[in-house]
Chains A and B, each alone.
Chain A
Amino acid sequence: MFAIETVALEKTYTVGFWRKATRQALKPLTLSIPEHEVFGFLGPNGAGKTTTLKLLMGLIYPTGGSAKIRGMDVQDPRVKAQIGYSPEQPYFYDYLTAHELLRYYAQLSQVPAREQEKRVSGVLERVGLRDIGKLQLRKFSKGMLQRVSIAQAIIHNPPLVFLDEPMSGLDPMGRREVRDLIQALKEEGKTIFFSTHILSDAETLCDRVAVVNKGELKGVGAIADLNTRGTGETEVLWEGTGEIQGFRALGEPHRSAEFWRVLVPDDKVYAAIDLVRQNHGRLISVTPLRETLEDYFFEKLNSKEVQP
């Protein structure tokens, strides 16, 4: 059983005053995400990430296809007890304190009354807001609200957590704190589905990523596979020589403050090493270049090909 499974899930809005024109926010999306996976949903703004999340959350209704969470249709009320959701740029009731808000959400999530206080204190501690739990939320910064948002998403200890742009608008410290929180959830074995356009966060946290653009799934790949996929080039670093004649046939050497650096095709690596040796240079490193998430993202983003 998959944690999340969509089959040709799509959403088309009717737009305009007479509702005659249509706008396809999500083209048929087929996706399977196993339990305990951290899945990143990547794409530029307006790509269809939030639409997908809203469809999975049952906040909007699909115009085609189906979506299941842990084997149940997303509209099945039982699904709601299994998920936690943190929306993009969260905002909560201004005049409630963080403590009151979490207590309210614990009640709605059917956490037993005798456990509610313990849970609220626990998550406040966990997101680092224990000392300001009695402060009204209108006095909270964006980063603090983001942490409250994650706290409310996990107050009922769901096995599946959905996070919409959890690092959006945060400063480096805030981003790190949220990243650590997601990392901790991952270590607990929760399935995490999060949308982001910050690639470094996805690369650090995710097991797999999907790239969407203009409402269309462009590709799905495992981060581990990306790290083993070579680019076909190798970086050679050395020192102790002047410019070596004959290197230009292999690649364009550049001199930094201390080293020479050249990118050569993989099949020319030994020729490059020989040239360094012949010129009595000291080899610093020979590193085959791996594909980064950024390379993958832009490759998929610009591709005409659509993931079946």
Chain B
Amino acid sequence: MIARVRSIAFNTFREAVRDRVLYNLIVFALLLIGSALVFGQISIGIEKIVLINLGLTAISIFGVVIAIFIGIGLVAKEIDKKTLYTVLTRPVRRWEFVLGKFAGLIGTLAVNAGLMALGFFGALWLEQRKFVRSDANLLTALYFILLEFVIVTAVALLFSSFSTPLFSTIFSFALFAVGTFGDDLRGFAASSHGAAKAVITLAAYLVPDLSSFNVISLVAHNQPIMPRLIALNTGYAFFYSALVLAGAILIFDRRNLK
């Protein structure tokens, strides 16, 4: 079982990293990080804040775009091009396929984020010609971005397990956008009344709360990140992704591969 999941994961990773589209996105993200240096030059006194804000946001946005497009593209393409048929007619269970795909995509995203992070730290070094102790907080911010990718990839896989690539992309981006304002949604739920309160509260707990993963502004202003938040975010990302993946597996297991 583990060997099959590992084979599918490795194959997914290999196929994804050889796709030129991926590199185009990474290069574009690196260019954006590089441009932060220029913006920093014209922002007197807040060069580093601009660089961190722009750099980490670029990594987050491009990572999410890659997660959704590659996540949906790879699974939908497998169904559309019938490659999946030659996998599922072997001693491979459908849940092993979903899990392998997920692991392969996370691996791909981790490598992408690593490449973009290298570019980001390179730009930071060019800006301040040294690294200071508080820069370690940036690693925590990157870790949270990676956790965000894990959730978004799971969501993309869930949608692609039953929907067309176009709708899966729209749904995933919509959920990401709503999730980014998760705090506001909960606040809105708290201030609502009656049936609306119940509906909005349910929605607030169903959509991923990605707002707590965004600590870019905090680290840009040298604010410390509490270990409790790291533990909570890790646990939340793990359980939310596990639940979403379980849903994807349940749906995919019953799906007729027409």
Contacting residues, chain B, for A77 (C-beta < 8 A): 91, 93
Contacting residues, chain A, for B258 (C-beta < 8 A): 13, 60
Asked if B81 and A91 make an inter-chain contact with CB atoms under 8 angstroms apart, the answer reads: yes
Contacting residues, chain A, for B93 (C-beta < 8 A): 77
* Interface positions of B from 2 to 20, Cβ below 8 Å from A: 3-4, 7-8, 11, 14-15, 18-19
Q: Is A259 an interface residue (CB 8 A)?
A: no
Digitize A82-115: 1 where CB-to-B-CB distance is under 8 Å, 0 elsewhere: 0111111111111110001000110111100000
Count residues of A near B (Cβ-Cβ below 8 Å): 37
Tell me, in angstroms, the Cα distance from A127 to B4 when the chains sit together.
26
Tell me, in angstroms, the Cα distance from A93 to B75 when the chains sit together.
12
Asked if B11 and A93 make an inter-chain contact with CB atoms under 8 angstroms apart, the answer reads: yes
Q: Is A54 an interface residue (CB 8 A)?
A: yes
Asked if B3 and A107 make an inter-chain contact with CB atoms under 8 angstroms apart, the answer reads: yes
Whose C-beta in chain B lies nearest to the C-beta of A104? B11
Give min CB distance, A158 to chain B, whole Å.
10
Tell me, in angstroms, the Cα distance from A88 to B82 when the chains sit together.
9
Contacting residues, chain B, for A57 (C-beta < 8 A): 85, 88-89
Whose C-beta in chain A lies nearest to the C-beta of B7? A107
A54 is contacted by which of B7, B81, B257 (Cβ under 8 Å)?
B257
Tell me, in angstroms, the Cα distance from A109 to B91 when the chains sit together.
6
Identify which of A54, A78, A104 gathers the most chain B CB atoms within 10 Å of its CB: A104
Count residues of B near A (Cβ-Cβ below 8 Å): 25
Q: A60-B257, A107-B4, A108-B91 are in contact. Are A91 and B15 (CB under 8 A)?
A: no
Tell me, in angstroms, the Cα distance from A60 to B86 when the chains sit together.
14
Q: Is A47 an interface residue (CB 8 A)?
A: no
Contacting residues, chain B, for A85 (C-beta < 8 A): 85-86, 89
Whose C-beta in chain A lies nearest to the C-beta of B94? A58
Asked if B86 and A59 make an inter-chain contact with CB atoms under 8 angstroms apart, the answer reads: no
Q: A59-B257, A60-B258, A91-B83 are in contact. Are A109 and B90 (CB under 8 A)?
A: yes
Contacting residues, chain B, for A96 (C-beta < 8 A): 11, 14-15
State the 8 A-B residue pairs at the shortest beta-carbon distance, nearest first: A95-B18, A91-B81, A60-B256, A85-B89, A107-B7, A80-B91, A59-B257, A108-B90
Interface positions of A (Cβ within 8 A of B): 13, 54, 57-61, 77-78, 80-81, 83-96, 100, 104-105, 107-110, 149, 152-153, 156, 162
